[in-house]
Amino acid sequence: MTGRLTRLNPGELHATPGYHHITVVAAGRTAYLAGQCPLDSAGALVGGADLGAQVDQVVANTQIALAAVAARPEDVVRSVIYVRSDDRADLTLAWERLTTSPIGAAFTSASTLLGVSRLGFPGQLVEVDFTVALPG
């Protein structure tokens, strides 16, 4: 916990697999990162039908977006993960790959993981939205 962010899991709520039910942010500036997609800098889909490779590109893109606003994964206060699948194994793979990645700390705040039927780009399997409490 920092003075700016407080993360809570009330004992009366169910245990979580790493995220917190509640994140409280002290007054300050907030950044909303657009859905981070598995696209390279030229806009080409990375990873083909490989969900793990697509997650890795989302991680790389998120690192760039966070750096652009001088933020770290620990500054994320909300994330929503979209996976184009209704298979629990795919959802688990995405969650585990994200939470063990260099941006894993971003998923200790309030996080939602959803299986969806379609995303914005042909072949896209994953996308993540972030809300960030900016430092300073």
Q: Which residues contact 57 (CB under 8 A, 6 or more apart)?
A: 37, 38, 39, 40, 46, 47
Domains of the chain are 5-133 (3.30.1330.40)
pLDDT bucket at 2, cuts 50 / 70 / 90: low
What's the predicted TM-score (pTM) here?
A: 0.88
Average pLDDT over residues 83-91: 97
pLDDT in tens, 99-134: 999 999 999 999 999 999 999 999 999 999 999 999
Mean pLDDT of the chain: 93
Query: What are the DSSP E strand ranges found in 19-75?
Result: 22-25, 30-36
Residue 115 structure tokens: 């299986």
Per cent of the chain over pLDDT 70 is 98
CA nearest neighbour of 76 among 109, 112, 122, 124: 109
